[in-house]
Amino acid sequence: MILLGACAGWSLITAAVHDGRPEGVLLAVLAVAAGHAVGRVSGALLPVAAPCAGAAAGVTLAVALPGLSVGARYTAPLGHAGGTAALLALATGAVCGAAWATPVPELRLVLRLPAVAIVPAGAVLGSPAGCAASAAVLLCSLAAGRASRRGVWLLGLATVAALTAGTAWALAARVLPGGLARLLEDRLGAHRVALWQDALRLAGRDRGLGVGPGRFGELAGTAPPALSADGRPHSALLQLAAEQGVVGVLLCVAVFCWVLHALWRSPRSTPVVLTAGAALTALAAFAAVSDALSFTTVTVGAGLLAGWATARPWAHRGAEPRL
């Protein structure tokens, strides 16, 4: 809560200095905090049913609201793919965690069937990234059953998130080798990379305070206007660097590190913890290369999953965490 409060407070400070609009950041912080609180309570009372219900709600939202938001600001060419993919990954993590939470082997097998169904659902919804992420979370969940020490696995997940964010930053800074840079730019889209370069250029204006929350769309000038119509560079890390400076980036990284630490100390079983960690790492990767965190459904889902994975079920109040 201290870190989330610091994120909200810093956005207000930078907004006051540069006449920015911190409402988006404040809404995201509120969504994560509310989701986490609900996840802790529901996870303690219903450690199997609550994640299952959350997964069903996540998939329903991805299907019923393909844009995840009304209006034209999430249209092509950048679109809402990151939000849909993140929602599917979180839903897979929730239902797989519920499967590990039940002590009944037969029910565990039944609960994995929806997770298997979510994988092709990503392809049906036009989200190959969601399909791949859901498959990765499912495979990590199955492998977590043989994990003995969660700390090493969580460190590996943190490394994956750091490599993804570092690669996006390096691509924007044009420091990658030419062949690799062209390959990644072809995969991600030249328009997306142009927005990242705009964000990095704005970050250089004021590394301490940034240009102010919500002001990227006003000040970015390199990318075509049609690409920056939603006012975001489609990378949470680069957006924070541009709008809130180094402190904003450090606070975001600190929140993710705290989540991994909370999972490490969680009283839940190691497979449950690592499954949630894999899904949240997928979200972190999507946030580094898309606008996944711009959708309230995604931020609430992230808070819920973290809450379910760190809740202490009433039936196991005396359980000690397995490190």
Q: In whole angstroms, how far apart are CA 188 and each of 24, 80, 177, 218, 286? A: 25, 14, 16, 24, 12
CA 240 to CA 315: how far, in whole Å?
A: 41
Q: With contact defined as beta carbons under 8 Å apart, do 267 and 57 qualify? A: no
- Can you read off the two tokens belonging to residue 125? 């919804």
pLDDT of residue 220: 65
Those residues with Cβ within 8 angstroms of residue 180's Cβ, 6 or more apart along the chain or in another chain: none
What pLDDT score was predicted for residue 206?
83
- Encoded amino acid at 285, one letter: A
Phi–psi pair at 49, nearest 5 degrees: -70, -40
Show me where the domains of the chain are located: 2-316
pLDDT, tens only, 169-183:
999 999 988 889 999
Whether 185 contacts 298, CB under 8 Å: no
Which residue positions in the chain have pLDDT lower than 70? 66-81, 220-230, 315-323
Model pLDDT, residue 208: 87
Q: How far apart are CA 140 and CA 156, in angstroms?
A: 12
Q: How far apart are alpha carbons 43 and 228 in whole angstroms?
A: 39
Instruction: Judge contact between 206 and 245, C-beta under 8 A.
Output: yes
Say what the pLDDT of residue 215 is: 85
Q: Which residues contact 17 (CB under 8 A, 6 or more apart)?
A: 209, 212
Nearest to 51 by CA among 309, 259, 270: 309
Q: In this structure, what DSSP letter does residue 103 have?
A: S
Cα distances from 301 to residues 38, 128, 176, in angstroms, run 10, 20, 34
- pLDDT tens column, 3-47: 999 999 999 999 999 888 999 999 999 999 999 999 999 999 999
pLDDT of 320: 39
